Structure 1
């Protein structure tokens, strides 16, 4: 098969790779759409020691089962594989399984390829009317869905929200907020090209960081970026008694105003990916149309992956998500 292979910092090559070999309980999936995630970009830049070269990246995927009794079934892939038997898994918090593995991280190759093998329980059937590009958004949007669910559980009375970052994670969180009952949402996005796209194409209230009033306070703040500067923004703009849902993994330390958070009883929730139920709920919300038209992606052939990464790196892409098509 053909695959896009990470060979080192800012080095990607489109070349032949061994076909995956499904084991019992797994299916072979012909990948038809796979999104570029921020974590893929971190690896591409050499910032993720968990993803050493050479490696096939990519984990936001959808396609068609090839062979076996489910041949031809359209599916979207939950890339997070948990053990199913530990305390976290038994509590329904399988995203916290100590033995969890994800495709695109050794020993599991990722989905920037024409085929991937995945176990049955990680596959969600996609209705015929849903394009594969939309189905592949279940994974990134599930991250925001999970963060919003936890924030809403902590503060059921929440009515206003600030989302930091207007990429797919931030936009997915904004759409999840609406689907879960919070409609007064502001997105802060520093890239003018992206910000204009969010306003004109996605009907979002998106502003520059410089236009965020210093005294503006929100019930819920979702940080979809995860840098010290964005955490500083989050802790400054959560209202007393509010909630910060932290998704982004930009850098590991700094930014939080612990004194203000303590004195104002602001809850900080670190959120990692999503549970299997969150993934299924997000997929169903996509199928039902509760997350909107989801027409804010840009499609490119997998062979153009190196240019796509370079364009994202340079901030030249207005669309929040680039979808790669391995069979184009």
Structure 2
């Protein structure tokens, strides 16, 4: 009786010899789609670099302390010594109040919807639907709401607090959605381990879930504030187009912001106003980059802990 030998396993049956994804032959459609995505990214990046380079070159002569130390002017003969100090101060006032209003409310709402709310209740489902719909409402609609309700009916007028409330309503859905996604990304095992040790729901949320969700929350908060920082449409309806040569000193002061100041400067035909507008654009971009850098630092710090 002859011994039969088992044939060696083929390379196709052995998972060690299977070709990797990078070794497989790509389909022509996949290659074209990848090239199209890279081309779109390159075009968007090229336009962004071109716009930033144009603003820097155009306003290079005005990127000096005059920009933030001097007040704006409406006379072409004095524009060489003019700046945008009142717009910078007004922007800091409005964005600071916006953060103080929308961040606590948005984070608390996200905690309620994600950790406490019963999704079987009709009012919770209605609340989630409205939040998602409000995220896509145009900003000018919030400006009309602020003009009719906050400025006139409530009587706050065209002041800093009115602008902050309107911008808070504008970016509040973004803060809630981003915070909910950050809470949802925390593993359920962390919550279950905390409950197993006898912690209450609030102790689990405050000491375990929230610290782990801070990186995502901070990123969403900074993106929301960056959007509020660049908004001009709702503020046009709320009296920010007025010519301001003083810094706001209270919640009920008149104000202007950098986007509105840039809008007013660009309308002027003189080249000096155009240079000042370009320098203000660069300053606004620097503030935006500083906010995004702060978000990155906060995210990296908390990611090292967790």
TM-score, length-scaled by structure 2: 0.22
**Higher RCO (CA 8 Å, separation ≥ 6 residues):** 2
Structure of larger gyration radius: 2
- Greater share of residues in helix: 2
- Greater share of residues in strand: 1
